Structure 1
Amino acid sequence: MPLASGHTVETLQEEELQRHVEIFKGHTTGLVRLIPGRWCLPESYVKFADALYNFKFRETDVMVITYPKCGTTWIQEIIWTMKNNPNLDNPKAATLSKLRVPFLEMDALKISRNSSLRDHEPRMFATFKTMCPGRDPDDGIQLQMAEVMPDPRILKSHLPLSLHNPDLIDTTKVVYVARNPKDVVVSYHHFMRLLKCHDFVGSFDQFVQQFVDDDLYYGPFWLHLKEAWEKRDHPNLHFIFFEELKANNIVELRRLNKFLETNLTEDQLQKVARHTSFSVMKTREEKIQPPEENAAFKKDIAMTDGGSYRKGEAGDWEHHLSREQQEKIDQWTARNVKAFGHSFPYSP
């Protein structure tokens, strides 16, 4: 039976699944591909797929959508601050950003049989019990927190547009962030090594190959971008490039201010820019939850290579990708950019 989105589910079988779990030690619940698109997700996603597709958005919402490691945490903090804390006097700013901005499909990504938000996210579970008294956490902790959260809601997802309610961008404002795939693969590799529920143990070369073969969660990368790029002229979709947000921060904040209709003053925008700079965000979040104390992280990697906040730079790929890996991604990019039908900034 197809999902509410119209996709059919193909479960990865023995040989293909075995190749995957040999390098992703944390992925123990199986994998699926959703057709059309060949979207790669853990099998546990299927339980929540229809609820996510049918999620009721409000006109007052702002929805952040990105492929993983494209600046999601940064843009959600920018938007939350613009909407809720432009004068930097909101006490809720001292709480973890993931408690203020629900990650809609987080419960749907129970990648490991031993992975539970109740165990490795105790603050989130405690917040859920306060916000959703009497509700069953097995029906989705983050999803239900999002349902009861008061306006204005800032929500986020890594799912492509085709797996969301088709009324999404006609109902509410959507901010989509794109990033150079070379930096994405470097950041995603760190993330997959860092989190216990992924526990990537393969080589970096294997990870690059997984990326270009569309065998990482939320892939295919280029189709994810293409779906949003084709909607970029919709009045409710704001398309941002990570590199431009980094290089021309205040200019991009002004554009976002206009799109969100937040009507902030120049002084307020400057405050937002400082408050959401990488160094300030990193210090603030790591003071609330030090990476070495995060139960979801592999402590040795958090201590040596950093936690969720690694570098936040554009162009860091130059220090990590070999010439052969660069060429592989360039060729893959050139093939896929053709599908956009016009020039795209990531052409090699």
Structure 2
Amino acid sequence: MAFLKNLKNQPIDGELAIALSKSYPLYKHGFVKVGEKKWFLPYKCAEQDNINKILNFEIRPDDTWIISYPRSGTTLTQELTWLVANDLNFDEARQRTLIERFPYLDLGLILEDDVLANDTPEEQKISKYSIEFVQNQPSPRFIKSHFPLDLLPTVVNNDCKIIYVARNVKSVAVSWYYFQKDLKLYEGTFEQMCDDFMNDHLMWTPYWEHVKTAWAIRHKPNVLFLFYEDLRKNLVENIKKIATFFGKTYNEVQIVKLAEHLNIENFRKNPMVNRHMPTQRGNPKVFIRQGKTDGWKELFTLELEKRFNKWIVDNLKDTDLIFPN
């Protein structure tokens, strides 16, 4: 397969490829590491035609991008951001799915075609042609991506709004594991997945480079860096912060109404955000899980927690990045 010439790409082969094929049986074409930071992506995503579309995506100055590592509170941040930016238009938010209002740029590139074939016709239109679908959206566009900012140079080098959301990496690991298991994308154990996570063999890893790349530009006036734990603990204050970011002003009654709309119990019952996801095998699953800030404790053994803590300390020792709690 051909890759973009100005990126260094390293196909995953040998024993590692065999091991990953057992954990990810639906990814029949395997994986590749892209660029100097060795971003771990499926082959389909890293093909020249596809990665070129990402690297050269045409930005508009009134775009809003939400970037995150998967399962970091992205969906909550999308709904919050869209409503704040669109004058609290609850009527439209209740009639149009979030993926229509705030499409996911990467979706058609990171899943194999036979997996996407299980989507509804409307979902197929959005996912299979996701880049074209996003590109042709009327302004102002709202776009979600899990690609690291390194692979979104036109976004970083523009004045469009960028909101990056990060979450306790232990909670990310648990949520990412359940999500992939529910979609039948991952067949390994939780401990195996954690090993892959720490060894940068999960999609969009290395995780710490993903977060630190965004942290490094957090002071730019068009960038807002958020922590999921803060969103859950101080939702009202974060609503006000995001409103200020968009130059909007809302009264206390409006803010309380939005906070109630985003309450995790209401959020989980909202079919416009918590859509059912078809899987190749088994029953459909819902997108939103528990949304807890301490849910990682349900799967971590003491030994695994010890290894994760060392991994965290090792990767934060040369940065001023500090996660809540």
Q: Same fold (TM over 0.5)?
A: yes
- 1:4-15 aligned at under 5 Å gives the runs 6-15=6-15
2:185 counterpart of 1:207? no
Superposition TM-score, scaled by structure 2 size: 0.92
Q: Is the 8 A contact 1:178 1:241 kept in 2?
A: yes
1:44 aligns with 2:44: yes
1:320 aligns with 2:299: yes
- The residue number in structure 2 matching 1:295 is 278
Q: Is contact 2:230–2:324 with CA below 8 Å preserved after alignment?
A: no
From 259, 263, 268, the counterpart of 1:282: 268
Take 2:264 and 2:114, find their aligned partners in 1: how far apart are those partners? 32
Superposed, 1:95-174 pairs within 5 Å as: 95-110=96-111, 112=112, 114-116=114-116, 118-125=117-124, 141-168=129-156, 170-174=158-162
Q: CA deviation at 1:274?
A: 1.5
Q: Identity of counterpart residues, as a percentage?
A: 25
Secondary structure of residue in 2 paired with 1:228: helix
In 2, the alpha carbon distance for the partners of 1:212 and 1:188 equals: 13
Structure 1 contact 158–218 (Cα < 8 Å) conserved: yes
Distance 1:285 1:231 in 2: 35
In the alignment, the residues of structure 2 paired with residue 155 and residue 287 of structure 1 have an alpha-carbon distance, to the nearest angstrom, of: 15
Partner of 1:264: 250
For the residues of structure 2 that align with 1:297 and 1:238, how far apart are their CA atoms? 37
- Deviation, 1:297, is 6.7
Deviation at 1:286, TM superposition (A): 7.4
Decide whether the 8 Å contact of 2:84 with 2:242 is kept in 1. Answer: no
Q: Give the structure 2 partner of residue 131 of structure 1.
A: none
**Which residues of structure 1 form unaligned runs of 5+?**
129-136
Whether contact under 8 Å (1:65, 1:177) holds in the other structure is yes
Inter-CA distance 320–249: structure 2 relative to 1 (3 Å threshold): same
Is 1:21 the equivalent of 2:21?
A: yes
Deviations 1:13-37 (A, max 9, x none): 1321111011222221210001311
Residues 232 and 239 of structure 1 are in contact (CA less than 8 Å); yes or no, is this contact kept in structure 2? yes
- Paired with 2:74 and 2:201, the residues of 1 have a C-alpha distance of 21
TM-score, normalised by the number of residues in structure 1: 0.86
> Equivalent residue for 2:221?
235
Q: Give the equivalent residue in structure 2 for 1:93.
A: 94
Tell me if structure 2 keeps the 8 A contact 1:85–1:93: no
Does 1:344 find its partner at 2:322?
A: yes
CA contact (8 A) 1:66 1:178 kept: yes
Q: Distance in 1 between matches of 2:63 and 2:273?
A: 29
CA RMSD in angstroms comes to: 2.3
Corresponding residue SS for 2:289: coil
CA separation of 1:321 and 1:301: change in aligned 2, threshold 3 A: farther
Q: Tell me, what secondary structure is at the counterpart of 1:94?
A: coil
Q: Number of aligned pairs?
A: 322
Is the Cα–Cα contact under 8 Å of residues 33 and 39 in structure 2 kept in the other structure?
yes
Does structure 2 retain, via aligned residues, the 8 Å contact 1:65–1:158? Answer: yes
Distance 1:192 1:287 in 2: 18
